[in-house]
Chains A and B, each alone.
Chain A
Amino acid sequence: MELLLEVRGLRISIPTDGGVLHPVRGVDLSVGRGETLAVVGESGCGKSLTAQAILGLLPRNARLEAERIAFDGMSLLGLGNRQWRQIRGRRIAMIFQDPMTAFDPCYRMGDQIAEIVRWHRPRNATPARMTEMLAKVGISAPDERLGQYPHQLSGGLRQRMMIATALLCEPDLIIADEPTTALDVTIQAQILRLLADLQAETAVGLMLITHDLGVVAGIADRIAVMYGGEVVETGSKAAILDDPRHPYTKGLLDCIPTPGETGRRSALGFIPGVVPRPLGALTACNFRDRCARAMPACHRGTVPLMPMEDGRLVRCRLYDPPGAVPVREPQKTLRNAEGVA
């Protein structure tokens, strides 16, 4: 599969009064053309910041370092304003978590969508094309909706509008940051199905950021599980969901109620403790304090991401085979890419 997005060694640090925070500590991700990657983790694991970093949308006080962030073979590091405007929306479109506030309340939906689409794909900015796309994302009476203001639409409708906007820009990659979290449960399923269908139809790459390892990540081809600013396990959907290896991934899956099961296994699992504050550099496994299977080795040094026999990568001492070689040594020489934002 052709590589569309490649992120290598992404680090984000934020200086605060209480010390430097490291919400993202060296993340590698990739999305192939037409592929769906789900990035899964609890809130605070750095998944949203990773998404923002890819589009150069980090908060101004955040510092970004990365060996490589490349899109379609072109580096996204150190881009200027003008170059970003050619990428954002046109090549990589974003769908946000909260559809209630993502649109400007002062303008009619049609005007807002047209404003964005006109810049990237002028031929799509016609009422006919817009109506057609709205119908495609399942909006009834699209003509009427285009004349309405955001506050007159429900959350589900607005998220469909957002998806339509993204598709009208004909991007190669859509980054959806918790696209269903703010919606009612029934609407969540509809929007997810819509995203999955449209992705299959248009062959757009999809990077799906979610905390839901079960349902949401279920539409992905591959899954990357993040914890404390690191990828702790990544592999095919089948590998992760059917045979999780990392204790954290297992914990996440145990938190998901499974219908039809009885007995002790039906008891919902939970992961004790909370995500540690990302203060200072790591000296050991980040998950050791919450891990039921922590052992002395976990407290000694950082844990590398190791390849398994089925091609997946796991960051856990449990799977340390004697003499195995980590995927890559921790990199010391990082390109400082300040000014990307």
Chain B
Amino acid sequence: MSTIANEQTNTPATPKPERVSSPGRLALRRALRHTGFWVGGVILAVILIAVLGAPLFTGSDPALQDLSHRLAPPVWHATGDWSHPLGTDHLGRDYLALLLYGGRISLLIGFLTIVLSSLIGVTLGVAAGYCGGTVDLVVNFILTVRLTLPVVLVALVAVAVLGQSLPLLVLVIGGLMWDRLVIVTRATTQQLARRDFITAARSIGSSMPRIFLRELLPNITAPLIVVCTLELARAILLESTLTFLGLGVQPPLTSWGLMVAEAKSQFLFRPWLIAIPGLSLALLILSINLLGDALRDVTAPDGKA
């Protein structure tokens, strides 16, 4: 039955490479052979350069409204021209400028959110994994409660009730998205806490913060980076969803989710108005997801390259 193969059965172990290289070096070497790493990395780099270097690529002010040039078509359209390469929106704003500056907001919210949620997640996860016992039970309970709360609904309610500002949006999304970080940090810490070097540090009387900073943190960074990357994608996705529903980023600021929402009514006759920010958003999330998957593969100890 050739459809099933026991790839590992009785296969002698592969010979050890002559030179033993450090985990980081090994991961880098694996990464350079990883298709997902390249594809994700290149797309993300292009987006980052375009968005962060926005003034280099467009001379227009994204906030400038010009009602005499409303809904101009993009340059590939028969009536488009280079003064507005991607056309203009329903308020006559330059769509390219909106896209580039709007991307900044999406990325900014994403990054700030991850900082917040990893603070919460790592604290809870390390506490649960390291202390065990009652602390573990309590953290587990908090986690269960968090998982029981429907993210989109609670975020919508929170934003609706607490008001709609950028810091608040970060607070709400970050305050809701730490679940996977806890799960991963807890599991990794649990494994580590049983290892000898932690026991040794404990036995010579190292303090908890010291053990955390010197022994635990360096050893959980690899899985943490992987989860943070994947969570960054989820955070941007959630931000765009809230914004699309009208309870996230508010004008005059703009983000890609808001651009899609504002173009919704135009989508029959001017589909590019949705396609441009929509594709950018999907590509951004896709590239981060690809990168996260690649990082997971290359940092895996069993070396699935």
A and B touch in the complex (CB under 8 A): yes
Residues of A within 8 A of B (CB): 14, 16-19, 21, 23, 44, 48-49, 52, 57, 59-62, 81, 84-85, 277-279, 339, 341
Q: Which residue from chain B places its CB closest to the CB of A19 in the assembled complex? A: B15
Complexed CA–CA distance, A136 and B113 (Å) = 68
Note all chain A residues with C-beta closer than 8 A to B16.
18
B57 to nearest A CB, angstroms?
A: 44
Task: Indicate if the CB atoms of B15 and A59 lie closer than 8 Å.
Answer: no
Q: A81-B1, A84-B1 are in contact. Are A59 and B6 (CB under 8 A)?
A: yes
Task: Indicate if the CB atoms of B15 and A16 lie closer than 8 Å.
Answer: yes
Task: Indicate if the CB atoms of A44 and B12 lie closer than 8 Å.
Answer: yes
A-B contact pairs, 15 of them (CB 8 A): A16-B11, A16-B14, A16-B15, A17-B15, A23-B10, A52-B9, A59-B5, A59-B6, A59-B11, A60-B2, A60-B5, A61-B5, A62-B11, A279-B15, A341-B2
B299 to nearest A CB, angstroms?
A: 19
A94 to nearest B CB, angstroms?
A: 13
Task: Indicate if the CB atoms of A59 and B1 lie closer than 8 Å.
Answer: no
Note all chain B residues with C-beta closer than 8 A to A21.
12
Note all chain A residues with C-beta closer than 8 A to B2.
60, 81, 339, 341
Note all chain B residues with C-beta closer than 8 A to A85.
1
A13 to nearest B CB, angstroms?
A: 11
Known: A278-B12, A341-B5. 16 other contacts (CB 8 A): A14-B12, A18-B14, A18-B16, A19-B15, A23-B10, A23-B12, A49-B10, A57-B6, A59-B5, A59-B6, A59-B9, A61-B7, A61-B11, A85-B1, A277-B12, A341-B2
Query: With an 8 A cutoff between CB atoms, is B207 at the interface?
Result: no
A104 to nearest B CB, angstroms?
A: 14
CB under 8 Å from chain A, chain B span 1-41? 1-2, 5-12, 14-17
Note all chain A residues with C-beta closer than 8 A to B8.
59
Note all chain A residues with C-beta closer than 8 A to B12.
14, 16, 21, 23, 44, 277-278
Q: How many residues of B contact A (CB 8 A)?
A: 14
Complexed CA–CA distance, A85 and B14 (Å) = 32
B10 to nearest A CB, angstroms?
A: 6
Note all chain B residues with C-beta closer than 8 A to A49.
10
Closest 5 CB pairs of A and B: A60-B5, A18-B15, A16-B14, A59-B6, A59-B9
Task: Indicate if the CB atoms of B10 and A52 lie closer than 8 Å.
Answer: yes
Complexed CA–CA distance, A341 and B17 (Å) = 30
Note all chain A residues with C-beta closer than 8 A to B10.
23, 48-49, 52, 59
Interface of B is mostly: loop
Complexed CA–CA distance, A207 and B14 (Å) = 30
Complexed CA–CA distance, A60 and B9 (Å) = 10
Complexed CA–CA distance, A159 and B48 (Å) = 62
Note all chain B residues with C-beta closer than 8 A to A23.
10, 12
Complexed CA–CA distance, A62 and B17 (Å) = 21
**Best-buried of B7, B12, B14 by chain A (most CB within 10 Å):** B12
Complexed CA–CA distance, A21 and B10 (Å) = 12
Complexed CA–CA distance, A59 and B4 (Å) = 9
1/0 contact string of B226-257 vs chain A (CB within 8 Å): 00000000000000000000000000000000
Q: Which residue from chain A places its CB closest to the CB of B15 in the assembled complex? A: A18
Note all chain B residues with C-beta closer than 8 A to A16.
11-12, 14-15
Q: Which residue from chain B places its CB closest to the CB of A21 in the assembled complex? A: B12
Complexed CA–CA distance, A14 and B8 (Å) = 11
Note all chain B residues with C-beta closer than 8 A to A44.
12
Q: Which residue from chain B places its CB closest to the CB of A44 in the assembled complex? A: B12
Complexed CA–CA distance, A61 and B8 (Å) = 9
Note all chain B residues with C-beta closer than 8 A to A18.
14-17
Q: Which residue from chain A places its CB closest to the CB of B6 in the assembled complex? A: A59
Note all chain A residues with C-beta closer than 8 A to B6.
57, 59-60
Complexed CA–CA distance, A52 and B14 (Å) = 20
Q: Which residue from chain B places its CB closest to the CB of A339 in the assembled complex? A: B2
Q: Which residue from chain A places its CB closest to the CB of B1 in the assembled complex? A: A81
Task: Indicate if the CB atoms of A60 and B15 lie closer than 8 Å.
Answer: no
Complexed CA–CA distance, A81 and B10 (Å) = 22
Note all chain B residues with C-beta closer than 8 A to A278.
12
Note all chain B residues with C-beta closer than 8 A to A57.
6
B261 to nearest A CB, angstroms?
A: 49
B172 to nearest A CB, angstroms?
A: 44
Complexed CA–CA distance, A61 and B14 (Å) = 13
Complexed CA–CA distance, A8 and B16 (Å) = 33
Note all chain B residues with C-beta closer than 8 A to A341.
2, 5
Complexed CA–CA distance, A49 and B6 (Å) = 12
A198 to nearest B CB, angstroms?
A: 27
Complexed CA–CA distance, A291 and B6 (Å) = 35
Complexed CA–CA distance, A44 and B10 (Å) = 8
Note all chain B residues with C-beta closer than 8 A to A279.
15
**Best-buried of B5, B6, B9, B10 by chain A (most CB within 10 Å):** B10
Complexed CA–CA distance, A279 and B13 (Å) = 12
B187 to nearest A CB, angstroms?
A: 25
Note all chain B residues with C-beta closer than 8 A to A14.
11-12
Note all chain A residues with C-beta closer than 8 A to B15.
16-19, 277, 279
Q: Which residue from chain A places its CB closest to the CB of B5 in the assembled complex? A: A60
Q: Which residue from chain B places its CB closest to the CB of A62 in the assembled complex? A: B11
Note all chain A residues with C-beta closer than 8 A to B17.
18
Q: A81-B2, A341-B2 are in contact. Are A17 and B9 (CB under 8 A)?
A: no
Task: Indicate if the CB atoms of B14 and A17 lie closer than 8 Å.
Answer: yes
Q: Which residue from chain A places its CB closest to the CB of B16 in the assembled complex? A: A18
Note all chain B residues with C-beta closer than 8 A to A19.
15
B113 to nearest A CB, angstroms?
A: 41
B266 to nearest A CB, angstroms?
A: 54
Which of A52, A60, A81, A84 is within 8 Å of B7, CB to CB? A60
B109 to nearest A CB, angstroms?
A: 43
A286 to nearest B CB, angstroms?
A: 15
